[in-house]
Homo-oligomer: A and B are copies of this chain.
Amino acid sequence: MVDELAEPNILALENQVCFALAIAARTVIGLYRPLLEPLGLTHPQYLVMLALWQESPRSVKNLSAALSLEPATLSPLLKRLEAAGYVTRERSSSDERMLDLTLTPAGRALREVALTIPPRVASALNMSVPELVQLREVLHGVIASTATTSAAAA
């Protein structure tokens, strides 16, 4: 009651960056759902495929660092990608603690199909390329800020 005058904004839902971030992320990932569904991929799986298309034999640890996902999250996810036939999981011959994650021919071929996805998402977003670039830059700023924070804390 009094608070609504004394503290009008601090806890208002519309003013929370975290709220906007959570909704925007869910919304945008939702845009990918129908596009990825024909490829048999979820959005996190798509991100893993993007990482593997950039560099193919990678370890779980390496992927974990690249995607900021815990190994515990990636492990079952990678098994699903293996079951889908896009990836093979083999112990590294040089260090048997590590797993060599390698694209199968089907996984490599999927890249051609995936090339159509970013333009379709961009058009679904109704945003110009400069706007998208600005958004990405701002988000990278957030990620970088928190990265330095946690590094300083550690």
Q: Is A66 close to B, CB under 8 A?
A: yes
Per the CB 8 Å criterion, the residue count for chain A at the interface is: 59
Within 8 A of B (CB), among A1-60: 3, 7, 10-13, 15-32, 43-44, 47, 50-51, 53-54
The one of B19, B126, B145 that contacts A146, using a Cβ cutoff of 8 Å: B126
Check B146–A11 contact: CB distance below 8 A: no
Which one of B15, B18, B68 lies within 8 Å of A121 (CB-CB)?
B18
Q: Give A114 Cβ to nearest chain B Cβ, in Å.
A: 6
Taking chain A's interface residues, is the majority helix, strand, or loop, or is none over half, making it mixed? helix
Q: Which residues of B contact A66 (CB under 8 A)?
A: 13
- Which listed residue, B10, B11, B119, B142, touches A125 by the CB 8 Å rule? B142
Our pick among B13, B22, B115 for the contact of A25 (Cβ within 8 Å) is B22
Within 8 A of B (CB), among A81-126: 111, 114-115, 118-119, 121, 124-126
In the bound complex, CA of A136 to CA of B29 (Å): 18
Which residue numbers of A lie inside 8 Å of B, CB to CB?
3, 7, 10-13, 15-32, 43-44, 47, 50-51, 53-54, 66-68, 111, 114-115, 118-119, 121, 124-127, 131-132, 134-136, 138-143, 145-146, 148-149
Closest 3 CB pairs of A and B: A20-B139, A25-B25, A126-B145
Q: Sample 6 A-B pairs with CB under 8 A, ordered by A number.
A: A13-B47, A17-B28, A21-B28, A30-B146, A135-B141, A135-B142
